[in-house]
Amino acid sequence: MSEKTLVSIVDDEADMRNSIAQWLSLSGCQTETYGSAEDLLKVVRADYPGVIISDIRMPGMDGMALLRRLQSLDPALPVIMITGHGDVALAVEAMRIGAYDFIEKPFDPERLSDLVKRAASTRRLAIDNRNLRREMSDGTMLLRKLAGSSQVIERLRENILDIAQADGHVLISGETGTGKSLIAHALHACGPRKGKAFIYVNCSAHNEEDLEKLLFGPSDRVGELPAIERSNEGTLCLENFEVINPALQARLASELERANGADTTVAPRNLRLISVSTQVNSTADVPEGMREDLFFRLTALQITTPPLRERGEDILMLFNRFCSRFAEDYGCEAPELSAEEAAQLIHSRWPGNIRQLMNVAERAVLQKRRGEEGISNLLQDDDAPAILPEITVEKPLREHVEAFEKMLIDNALRRNRGAVSSVMSELALPRRTLNEKMAKYGLVRAEYL
């Protein structure tokens, strides 16, 4: 369910601010009113999630001075100015300073509502982008996004932390949908280059001419530096690097020589490259048409992302998380898996990996909302259960039982928001047994509150 748009209204006339607040409240907004600019500035912060509406002419600090203060606090904060008939020139000046828009008295309330909705949408987008940038600069948060407790994912996290501290160029290889872009960001954010520029270029998304301009310049956009220069002191990540033509390979090799200080005629460049590929599987797999010296330099260090089908019980954990997220988005209950369905998920091939699992989870939630049960029909023919090796020991069966048991406890904790007594009642487990199983499976109550 979407949250109400927050609107702060600043006007020294009580009747005006109250009538605006009443109209916007009827339009579905959450409103706050202030009799002066000084009162608003006591509470507003840089990450204020809503829209500001301010009269231009007020005693004390007027609307123009307030706008300048808000701009210095957060230039992306949308401010709508209310002006009198003779204040159009002042309103135009406010737009130049950075106001979102202005509206003249007497104004149409419907137009004001529409203006607020558009400003709120712009604000949400700005905050989402800001939060995303923060996440991408926080190595700890990025590693938490690599969710799972399987041995392969634990080993992956350890490799990321180790390689992040090194300074050699890195190859990240693996199937589509396995999180290679996320790992590239984590390598940058967990290492000594954190806080410096991280430039991501998908080489296959550009023709040869545009790719050369993007990497080396000159840019078609005035004042924009090429990626090589922007990533100096930081990290340049090249997705699908194997498509780079021989001429650009030569220029890239020259830049790496410069980074090593081998070319004494130019200033050295401090540059780390991360190459991302679904085609290159190992450092022995030199792509056709690529210079070997460049290839081996780019792949000095390597991380291979594990496919989802090798992650065992992580599949159930991820499926449950995705289902919970989509159920909240769609305002319905998350589907519950039977033991047979859990086994189907674990043994499916998942050629699209995590992206495909996320799509199946969303369709399962939508199906549940319609009152339909079961996920077997959501697993397409090309993702039928893989042929399993002959089981000669009892360990695989025990692992499947434990994975299903962990999933049931995880679901119960999530449904009951970590209330242990409710989980005990739902699963008919004594407290000691539940505590032991939670410890065994690494389930922490605080994560469900």
CATH number, domain containing residue 270: 3.40.50.300
Chosen domain end from 135, 154, 176: 135
What kind and span of H or E run contains 374? none
Distances (CA, A) of 322 to 121, 175, 327, 332, 358: 25, 20, 8, 13, 6
State how far Cα 133 lies from the chain centre: 8
Q: Please tell me the total count of domains within the chain.
A: 4
Token representation of residue 112 = 């004001």
Three-state secondary structure call for residue 427: helix
pLDDT > 70 fraction of the chain, expressed in percent and rounded: 89
Of 320, 401, 389, the closest CA to residue 147 belongs to 320
Residues 57 and 198 reside in one and the same domain: no
- Give the residue numbers spanning the domain of 438: 389-449
> Are 314 and 406 in the same domain?
no
Distances (CA, A) of 247 to 59, 124, 291: 66, 43, 11
Q: In sequence order, which ranges of 270-338 are alpha helices (DSSP H)? A: 292-298, 314-330
Q: Is the pLDDT of residue 160 over 80?
A: yes
Q: Are 82 and 54 in contact (CB under 8 A)?
A: yes
Residue after which a domain boundary falls, among 342, 363, 388: 388
pLDDT at 111 > cutoff 60: yes
Q: Label each residue of 28-51 as H, E or C.
A: CEEEEEECCHHHHHCCCCCCCCCE
Mean pLDDT for all residues in the chain: 84
- As a whole number, mean pLDDT of residues 98-121 equals 89
Distance CA 138, CA 143 (A): 9
| Other CB atoms within 10 A of residue 226 CB | 16
401 and 258 share a domain?
A: no
| 149 lies in the same domain as 292 | yes
Report which of residues 7 and 287 the model is more confident about: 7
User: DSSP states of 60-111 as a string?
Assistant: SS-HHHHHHHHHHH-TT--EEEEE-GGGHHHHHHHHHHT-SEEEESS--HHH
Scan for tokens 């001075």, then name that residue.
Answer: 65
Residue finishing a domain among 263, 279, 306: 306
Strand partners, 54: 10, 81
Using one digit for the tens of pLDDT, what is the confidence trace for 287-334?
888 899 999 999 999 999 999 999 988 898 899 889 988 998 888 888
Q: Are residues 57 and 164 in the same domain?
A: no
Report d(CA 21, CA 16) in Å as an integer.
9
Q: Are residues 15 and 131 in the same domain?
A: yes
Q: Are residues 193 and 69 in the same domain?
A: no
Instruction: Considering only residues 379 and 39, tell me which one the structure prediction assigns the higher pLDDT.
Output: 39
Same domain, 80 and 228: no
What CATH code is carried by the domain that includes residue 365?
Answer: 1.10.8.60
- How far CA 141 is from CA of 145, 224, 242, in Å, comes to 7, 30, 30
Give yes or no: residues 431 and 376 share one domain.
Answer: no
In terms of domains, do 146 and 288 share one?
yes
Residue 268 has pLDDT above 60, yes or no: yes
Residues near 403 by beta carbon (within 8 Å), at least 6 away in sequence: 312, 313, 316, 342, 346
If asked whether residues 322 and 442 sit together in one domain, one would say no
Can the peptide bond before residue 389 be classed as cis, meaning omega within 30 degrees of 0? no
Judged on CB neighbours under 10 Å (0-12, 13-18, 19+), 419 is middle
122 with 192, same domain: the answer is no
pLDDT in tens, 169-201: 999 999 999 999 989 999 998 888 988 999 999
